[in-house]
Amino acid sequence: MNHPPLSGSRLVWITLALSMSVFMQVLDTTIANVALPTISGNLGAATSQGTWVITSFGVANAIAVPLTGWLAKQVGEVKLFTISTLLFVLTSWMCGMANSLEMLILFRVLQGAVAGPMIPLSQSLLMACYPPAKKGLALALWAMTVIVAPVFGPILGGVISDNWHWGWIFFINVPVGMAAAFISWKILKERETGLVRQPIDKLGLALLIVGVGALQMMLDRGKELDWFNSTEIVVLAIVSAVSLIYLVIWELGEKHPIVDLTLFAKRNFTVGTVAISLGFMLYFGAVVLLPLMLQTQMGYTATWAGLAAAPIGILPVFLSPIIGKNAHRLDMRWLVTISFSVYAICFFWRSTFNTEMNFAYVVWPQFIQGIGVACFFMPLTTITLSGLRPDQIASASSLSNFLRILAGSIGTSITTTLWDRREALHHAQLTQHVTLYDQASQMWFRLLETTGMSTSQQQAYTALQITRQGSLIGVNEVFWLFGIMFVALIALVWFARPPFTSSGAADSGAH
């Protein structure tokens, strides 16, 4: 049954409710990062053990997201979204109340699992409430919350853990989630989607859980265990590869697949999903790398590192609604080209970072990159969902979001590992030049001697400077590589074919 688009205050309220639920969930993926030392110390665990607080949520969430399409057909999109949001509130409260690391990890697994359907359903439900001409605006407003939340996460996490009990990181979800669930149900309950009873693909589900779970654990623990020099990582890699390959083969022949891989037969879905996943992989890698570099090498506190990253969210707040409002007049491929070009320029700009740079030198690339961010999510999501039937939107949205989230995890692992390897290489190269026979080294040590340093102090200070310089050169090389990759990605998006508004984009979700 088709429902007319919403208008007036009801449209404003539902946009706010759905956006806040997305903001809350995306925020939760990053807010715990800076609070890890506090949480670990409070619960009597090592910080390395504390990383499971993040890993456990990521694994459960990555597995749950692709199930959204199937679950939505069983209970209806509106009901599933409301239930997921309320369960997310409950599990958030349980996380805040945890008094041991084991208990917190268990509740984070539950929290990640119930959060799975929230992002894809918020997307399809929001689009269904807007008239065809304003679908772009709906997607732009939705994308804005996905962009801004990871920026606010570290700042909010730092402030809460510094000034209050770490449990408030999770407690703040309770009022926001309850309000989002109440408003969504009140406005959308009459617009419930039709039910399609399908048997569950048990083998597909088992392969998905094992394959994605093993892959996520491999990515999270790889750096700590020196990747493929570890038996555990090799075993996880083999289990993941075998499970995921068999999953693809099985799903292509399954009548009621848990993951609808036939969507990749659509050119625009494939181009959009690959572009948004690879683009997000590079973007999220930088989101993790920049604060890490500022805190470890430049002496920034967690709060100041968060503030340095925050300007990336300023321009999208103003540009996203303008772009969304005029989306029906624009070729999405040109918007994505602008996005990737700005990303490339900003990454090349960052590749000139040095140990003497001031706060403004860090902030300006972040601020300008906001243009690229504003032209990233909405156009690529529009391309991804174009040409699809209304009943395919929930499955398509969940599959593309799943791959995007997984790409973010891969980006984090690749970025930090690449940085470590390059830093080690440059550290070794720089150390080779520090000898008694090197003229520059002699001048350097004479300079340090004039400051009154002892020989051991001179050596310690020199080692520190070598580490900082090696780290900065490594960071610059990673940023340079990402800039080149964004230039290459521009070509990919031109394989998409207009029109980018279709039955799927016009009548998606809760119709």
pLDDT tens digits for range 384-421: 988 888 778 878 888 898 888 888 878 887 888 888 88
Give 432 or 95, the one with higher predicted confidence.
95
Q: Does residue 256 register a pLDDT over 60?
A: yes
Cα–Cα distance measured from residue 412 to residue 468, given in angstroms and rounded to the nearest whole number = 21
The 3-state secondary structure of 408-421 reads HHHHHHHHHHHHHH
CA 453 and chain centroid, separation: 46
Q: What is the DSSP letter of 486?
A: H
Which residues have CB under 8 Å from 32's CB, separation 6+?
39, 53, 54, 57, 157, 169
Instruction: Judge contact between 441 and 435, C-beta under 8 A.
Output: yes
**409 vs 36: CA distance, rounded Å:** 18
What would the pLDDT profile of 436-456 be if each residue is shown by its tens digit?
677 777 787 777 777 777 777
Task: Kindly report whether the peptide bond that precedes residue 379 is cis, defined as omega within 30 degrees of 0.
Answer: no
Residues 6+ apart with CB under 8 A from 429: none
Q: Could you tell me the two tokens for 106?
A: 């268990």
CA angle 101, 105, 108 (to 5 degrees): 140
Nearest-angstrom CA–CA distance, 291 and 309: 7
- Cβ burial of 270 (10 Å; 0-12, 13-18, 19+) is middle
Tell me the three-class secondary structure of 383-402, residue by residue: HHHCCCCHHHHHHHHHHHHH
- Give per-residue pLDDT as tens, 185-228: 998 888 877 777 778 888 988 998 899 889 888 887 787 788 88
pLDDT at 329: 82
Task: Between 460 and 242, name the one with better pLDDT.
Answer: 242
| Angstrom distance (rounded) from CA 146 to CA 119 | 9
Q: For 252-266, 426-440, 481-495, which range has the lowest pLDDT when averaged over its residues?
A: 426-440
d(CA 282, CA 492): 15
207: DSSP letter: H
Cβ neighbours for 78, distance < 8 A, ≥ 6 positions apart? 125, 184, 185, 188, 189, 191, 192, 193, 510
Contact yes or no for 216/55 (Cβ under 8 A):
yes
Encode pLDDT of 272-306 as tens digits. Answer: 999 999 999 999 888 878 887 887 788 887 778 87
What's the rounded mean pLDDT across residues 493-499? 89
495: left (phi > 0), else alpha (psi -120 to 50), else beta? Answer: alpha
Q: Where would I find the H helices in 451-502?
A: 455-493
Structure tokens belonging to residue 89:
């509130």
* Contact yes or no for 218/235 (Cβ under 8 A): no
Q: Specify whether the CB–CB gap between 109 and 94 falls below 8 A.
A: no
pLDDT digits (tens, 9 = 90+) for 53-86: 776 787 788 888 888 878 888 888 899 999 999 9
Angle between the 135-163 and 377-385 helix axes, to the nearest 10 degrees? 130
Half-sphere exposure of 424 (CA within 13 A, CB side): 6
Tokens of 10: 């009801």
Least confident of 17-31, 77-91, 367-381, 492-506: 492-506
Question: Taking CA 289 as the corner, what is the angle to CA 287 and CA 290, rounded to the nearest 5 degrees?
Answer: 75
> What is the C-alpha separation between 225 and 229, in angstroms, rounded?
8
Q: What is the pLDDT of residues 106-151, one digit of tens each?
A: 999 999 999 989 988 888 888 888 887 777 778 777 777 777 777 7
What are the structure tokens assigned to 406, written together? Answer: 């997984």
Contact in structure between 44 and 102 (CB atoms under 8 Å): no
